[in-house]
Structure 1
Amino acid sequence: MRRISDEPGFVLHRYDWSESSLIVEVFTREHGRVALVAKGAKRPSSNFRPVLLPLQPLHLAFGGDAEIRTLKGAEWVGGQVMPTGDALLAGFYLNELLLRLLARDDPHPQLFETYADTVSVLASGQAEVVEPALRSFELLLLREIGLLPALHLETATQAPVETDVRYSLLPEAGLARTGPMEARASLAGEQWRALQRALDEPAPFAAALGVAAAVAGELKPQLRALLNYHCGTGTLRTRQLMIDLQGL
C-alpha cells in the first residue's frame, strides 16, 4: 500500500459515504485530483471534522492503491481566512471547474499554485479583484488542460492578430475576427496579445491579474461560453446560484 505524507491540498467537495464517514475530493500539488474516504469524519469527536473545509490550505496524508484511497491525516496550514459573500461563491465556482475538467490522479502542480494564489486573493476581502482573479484562473486552467488557443494568433489562419482588429474567442473556432455588425463580446488584437504575454510570464497568475482587470467585462462571456462548452453544460451550478442570488 502506497503512503503519501505531508501533501499540500485543498478540499473541492465532500459527500456522505456511510453514517459516520465521508468521501472527500481533494486537489493536491503532486497527485492532482484525488478521492479519499475519511473514516469517522462525521463523528463529533473526529479530528477530521473541523479541518476538512473547502478553500483552506491543508497538508494531507493518505494511502491505498484503489480509486478511492484512505485519508490518514489532515492538518490546517493556516495563513488565510475563509472567503465570504461573492468571494465564497467564486471559490465554489473554482472547485466545480476543477471537478468537471480534471481527471483523477493527473498531476498539475503549476495549476495547483495558480489555484492557491486565486483562493488567497478571494480570501483577501478585496471585492475589486474577484473578477480579474476569476478570469485569470479560467485562462490558466484552460491553457493547462490544452483547451486554450494561442491568443496572439487567429486560430483558423495562424496569422498574427492585428492591433486594432477585434477578435472573439469561440468554443468551436478559437480566436476569430469579429464582424463589424456582430454583437458578440470581443477584444482588440493588442488586448489578446497582452493576455498571451501575461500567460507566458514566469509568474503568469500575477501578470494576468493586472491585464484581466482592464478587460474582465468583455472577457467573461467568452471564457464562460468556452468553459460551458467543454464542461458539457449550459450553466454551471455555482454560476446559476450566483445568478439566482443576484436576482433576489
Structure 2
Amino acid sequence: MATSRRSGGTAGGSAAKPLSGYVLHTHDWSESSLILEVWTRELGRVVALAKGAKRPYSQLRSVLLPFQRLHVQLGSKRLEGGAEVQLLRSAEWAGGGPMLSGAALLSGLHLNELLLRGLARHDPHPHLFDTYAGTLARLVDTRAMADEHGAAAALRAFELAFLADSGVLPDLSCLTATQQPVQPAARHLLLADAGVCTTRSANDPGISGAVLLAIQTALQADDLGSLQQACAGAPQELKSQLRALLHEHLGTSMLRTRALMVELQQLLDRDR
C-alpha cells in the first residue's frame, strides 16, 4: 500500500476523515505536479493539486491511477491559475481489480466522460458513486467482458443510473404525455423531447414495455444487478435511444469516447 507524505494537520490540529474517491482525469501542472479531477463519494467532483506526483521517487505515482478506488485527504482550498483547487494531502489505494484494458478500458473512459461532462463540482451523488464502483467491478470481470451483451448491458445500466440521478430520466412505467401505464407487450420509444411514448411505425426500434418496467423497478430498488439484467433484454435498442438522451443532456452531438470507438472500428475494418 502506497501513501503520500502528509503535509501537516488540518485546521484545529485534527486529521480529517479520508474520503472515498476515484481519479477521473489528470493533466500536468508543472514539471513535477499534477492537477486531478477526483470524484469523491462525500463531496462530489473536486479539483486537487498533487504536488510532486510526477517525481520518480513520489509514492503517489503508483497510487493516482484511474479506475482504482482511493482513500484521499484534501487540504485547504487555493487559487491556481484562476481556478479553485484543493491540495491533495494524502492518497492510498482502497482496493480494486486489475487495470482495465481493451474494450473494458474504452468502456471505463466512457463512464468517466459522462461524469466529467455531466456532474457539477462539489455536488455529491453517493448512489451513483456506488453504481460506478459496481460497474467497474463488472468491467474487470473477464467473463462479463467476453459476453458482448453482458458488457453492453453494464454500460446501459450505468447510463440509466446516471440520467436518473441527474433528474432527467422520465418515469419508465408510464407514457410521459398521458401518464397511462406502460403495457408490457407494447413497444415504446424513449425520446429526448417526448419521454416515453409508443412507437410511431413498425420500423421504429422500440423497447418492449416489459423491459422498461423491469428497468424502472430496478432503479427504484437501487439494485444494480437487476438493472443490468433488465438492460440485457434490449441492449441495442437502449443504446441508440439513450445516446440521444445523453447528447441532449450533455449538450454535445458526440462524446469523445464514442468518436474514439468509431475511429478504432474504422481502422479494424480497413485492416481486414
- TM-score (norm: length of structure 1): 0.95
**1:83 and 1:124 in contact (8 A); partners too:** no
How far apart, in 2, do the equivalents of 1:5 and 1:75 lie?
Answer: 13
How far apart, in 2, do the equivalents of 1:115 and 1:73 lie?
Answer: 23
Does structure 1 residue 30 correspond to structure 2 residue 47? Answer: no
Quote how far apart the aligned CAs of 1:163 are.
2.5
Identity of aligned residues (%): 49
Report 1:129-168 matches (<5 A). 129-168=150-189
Say if 1:226 and 1:213 are closer, same or farther in 2 by CA, change over 3 A.
same
How far apart, in 1, do the equivalents of 2:175 and 2:42 lie?
Answer: 34
Q: Residue type matched to 2:113 in 1?
A: E
Two-structure CA RMSD over aligned residues (Å): 1.4
How far apart, in 1, do the equivalents of 2:235 and 2:182 lie?
Answer: 20
Identify unmatched segments of 5+ residues in structure 1: none
Q: Residue type matched to 1:118 in 2?
A: T
Larger Rg: 2
Identify unmatched segments of 5+ residues in structure 2: 1-9, 79-83, 268-272
Does structure 1 residue 199 correspond to structure 2 residue 214? Answer: no
Does structure 1 residue 173 correspond to structure 2 residue 194? Answer: yes
What stretches of structure 1 move > 3 A for 4+ residues in a row? 1-5
Quote how far apart the aligned CAs of 1:18 are.
1.5
Q: Residue type matched to 1:205 in 2?
A: L
The SS at the match of 2:25 is strand
How far apart, in 2, do the equivalents of 1:16 and 1:135 lie?
Answer: 32
The SS at the match of 1:62 is strand
Paired residue total: 246
Report 1:1-248 matches (<5 A). 4-66=16-78, 67-125=84-142, 126-127=144-145, 128=147, 129-181=150-202, 183-201=203-221, 203-248=222-267
How far apart, in 1, do the equivalents of 2:161 and 2:36 lie?
Answer: 25
1:156-208 Cα distance to aligned partner (Å, 9 max, x none): 11111122221111111111111124x4432122221111111122x421110
1:24-82 Cα distance to aligned partner (Å, 9 max, x none): 00111111111101111111111111111111111111121343111011111234111
How far apart, in 2, do the equivalents of 1:199 and 1:95 lie?
Answer: 21
Q: Residue type matched to 1:227 in 2?
A: L
Quote how far apart the aligned CAs of 1:4 are.
4.2
Q: Residue type matched to 1:246 in 2?
A: Q
Structure 1 stretch displaced more, 11-20 or 57-66: 57-66
**1:185 and 1:219 in contact (8 A); partners too:** no
Q: Residue type matched to 1:43 in 2?
A: R
